[in-house]
């Protein structure tokens, strides 16, 4: 229950977090950070899909 507080985050809290991020990284670096975050998410999804495909192949070979 370490992250139980996340359920209670609302609009004002998100704005404060966004402001802190902008102050910390600077507005000019945010697009690059968002782009790298998106690429990381795509790679993670791709890796999970490949792992699921590998499991299906192993299960099919066990059945045969």
% of the chain beyond a pLDDT of 70 = 75
Rounded to whole angstroms, the Cα distance separating 43 from 8 reads: 30
Domain that holds residue 33: 28-59
Residue listed under structure tokens 């992250």: 3
Task: Judge whether 46 lies within some domain.
Answer: yes
Number of domains in the chain: 1
Q: How many Cα atoms occupy the beta-carbon half-sphere of 3 within 13 Å?
A: 1
Q: What is the structure's pLDDT at 60?
A: 65
pTM over 0.85: no
Task: Judge whether 48 lies within some domain.
Answer: yes
Q: What is the structure's pLDDT at 2?
A: 60
Task: Judge whether 42 lies within some domain.
Answer: yes
């Amino acid at each position: 229950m370490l992250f139980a507080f996340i359920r209670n985050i609302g609009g004002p809290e998100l704005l404060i977090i966004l402001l802190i991020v902008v102050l910390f990284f600077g507005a000019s670096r945010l697009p690059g950070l968002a782009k790298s975050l998106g690429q990381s998410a795509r790679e993670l999804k791709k890796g999970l899909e490949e792992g699921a495909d590998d499991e299906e192949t192993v299960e099919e070979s066990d059945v045969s």
